[in-house]
Amino acid sequence: MTKFTDGEWHRLHPLTPLLKGGIAFIAIIAFVIVNLRDILIESFLGDGRGGSEGEPLLWLAENGFVGLAVLAVLVFLVLFVVGFYISWRMHTFRITDEVVEVRSGILFRTHRRGRLDRIQGINIARPFLPRLFGAAKLEVNVAGQDANVQLEYLGSAAADELRREILRLASGTQAVSPEAVELAGAGTGTGTIIEKRVAEFIGPELDPTLVVEPQSVVKLHTGRLLGSLLLSGFTIFLIALVVGVAVGVTLTGSLGFLIPVIFGIIGTFRYYVTRFTKSLRYSIAGTPDGVRVGFGLLSTSNETLPPGRIHSVQVSQPIMWRMTGWWEIKVNRASTSSAAGAAGQANTTILPVGNITDVRNVLALVLPGVDPDLLAAALVSKGGDDGFINSPRRARVLRWFSWRRNGFTLTDSAVVLRKGQIWRELVIVPQARLQSVAVHQGPLLRRLSLAALHFHTVAGPITPSLGAVDASFATELFLNTADAAIRSSSSDTSHRWRSGEALV
């Protein structure tokens, strides 16, 4: 039982109003002061007339309203500060064994409650400025659109501790982890505030107290990150643009074509730089409470996905990445986080770029029950007799290049779909997360004795389906998958992922 999980109401970081909206307020005050200074200097040193006819402040001074104006500003300031203070006082949260609750608002009160066993992920974001002040934003994602419980801002250490506690309560374990208790006691460490701040700022992104197997950590190399940006579809577009402009200039002899190019180059540069800095220090690691994805250099973000929260996984390879052997991994999740993922992409991209070893490691993390070697082999397989039920030869009318490897396999805990020869792709759906299965057959597929299988999961970037399956296998696979989905979901306990653990 630590500081936050005693079931009482707690308040946020005292600097919260300042960090949330106060920066703009300070900027306005600074602006007014700077303006005033100009006027004061002018009225003392200049002749006092210099072209300031329309100045409202001078007008106030000339008409003897100074006292009134100062009073108005003071009242405004006091109201602002009091408003901030009250909104901070009224913004409270509480964590019990079952739910996390937030109450906020002065006139319009909101009260939001999220069930702990429905948590889909916990995200700790530290934007640059709050990070300087040692504050962090904690977001608890619950299944559904716009169904997140946000705690902004908390002290940096408090956010880490709160996340650990929420995950512990949500996991259903009865054991109090010894390090949590110890840390709660040691929270008020030695050293000055500045020393602590600096330590936090340059400290490692991953919590050192966590038991992380070192080989499970996947990091993104800077060179590969750069390369993946240069080999993206955007680059192709850029090259096409440059070629087009060059042709235009040579044909017409007019340099007018160059103007958009200059703007284009500036925009491009910004695009590459943002994507690059946002993906720096990218890491994925396995922890007892799920997969942890962290990234960012100045503004950092660190998200934990507890086990069983990933509804499907897609490994794909854009055609330009084939020569370097890089892959990208996306997932479907039941929640939508307001925080963007690395490189400003949707946070459903959990591996922006990686080689086959990284892919294997990440797959082992996100799909614990599936043999990563099987998947890694399936990724590059040319098809044939490789453990997959591939499309028959007659499917080549519909799948010109990929019919050999357009296939399907059922493992103990997942459905694996393999598609594409040019744009290679592998989709894995954990059976315990499968919502329903469908098999379709239209007139064209019927002529060829083929059918299409669709696997329904929560909405996301992936729509798992497989076309051109042998019709005689399709109904069998359909029924097998339906049975497997029921079996897996009834034996699945991942909503309370550590409930099996004994009391320590």
Residues that bind other proteins (CB under 8 A): 117-118, 143, 308, 311, 334, 432-433, 435-443, 446-447, 449, 451, 454, 456-459, 463, 471, 474-475, 478-479, 481-483, 485-486, 489-490, 492, 494-495
- In the complex, least distance from residue 353 CB atom to other proteins, rounded to whole angstroms: 29
Cβ 429 to other proteins shortest distance, Å: 11
Shortest distance, position 480 Cβ to other proteins, whole Å: 11
Cβ pair 401, 421 in contact under 8 A: yes
Nearer to other proteins, 158 or 367 (CB): 367
> Toward other proteins, which CB reaches closer, 404 or 433?
433
CB of 436 to other proteins, least distance (A): 4
Contacts of 87 (CB under 8 A, 6+ apart): 17, 104, 105, 106
Give the integer Cα–Cα distance in Å for 136 and 301.
9
Amino acid letter for position 188? T
Whole-number Å distance between alpha carbons of 123 and 159: 10
- Residue with Cβ nearer other proteins (225 or 429): 429
Burial per residue of 372-394, b for 16 or more beta-carbon CB atoms within 10 angstroms, e otherwise: bebbbebbebebeebebbbbbee
Shortest distance, position 451 Cβ to other proteins, whole Å = 6
Nearer to other proteins by C-beta: 307 or 407?
A: 307
In 3D space, the residue among 388, 451, 381 whose CA is nearest the CA of residue 415 turns out to be 388
Q: Is the Cβ of residue 273 or residue 438 nearer to other proteins in the bound state?
A: 438
Which of 155, 284, 94 minimizes the C-alpha distance to 102?
Answer: 94
Q: Please, what is the minimum distance in Å from the beta carbon of residue 434 to other proteins?
A: 8
CB atoms within 10 A of CB 502: 7
Give me the least distance between CB of 478 and other proteins, in Å please: 6
- Angle, nearest 10°, between helix axes 222-230 and 258-279? 150
Toward other proteins, which CB reaches closer, 25 or 478? 478
For residue 90, the SS3 value is: helix
Contacts of 400 (CB under 8 A, 6+ apart): none
What's the full length of the chain, in residues?
504
For the bound state, the minimum distance from the C-beta of residue 288 to other proteins, rounded and expressed in Å, comes to: 19
Q: How would you classify the pairing of strands 414-419 and 425-430?
A: antiparallel
State which residue, 58 or 99, has the beta carbon closest to other proteins: 99
- Cβ at position 245, least distance to other proteins in Å: 41
Nearer to other proteins, 235 or 489 (CB): 489
If the CB atoms of residues 370 and 485 are measured against other proteins, the closer one turns out to be: 485
Whether the Cβ atoms of residue 138 and residue 122 lie closer than 8 Å to each other? yes
Q: Tell the smallest beta-carbon distance from residue 143 to other proteins (Å).
A: 6
DSSP reduced 3-state for 231: coil
Burial class (CB in 10 A: 0-12, 13-18, 19+), 204: exposed
Cα distances from 78 to residues 81, 82, 260, 414, in angstroms, run 5, 6, 50, 61
Measured from the CB atom, the residue of 196 and 454 that comes closer to other proteins is 454
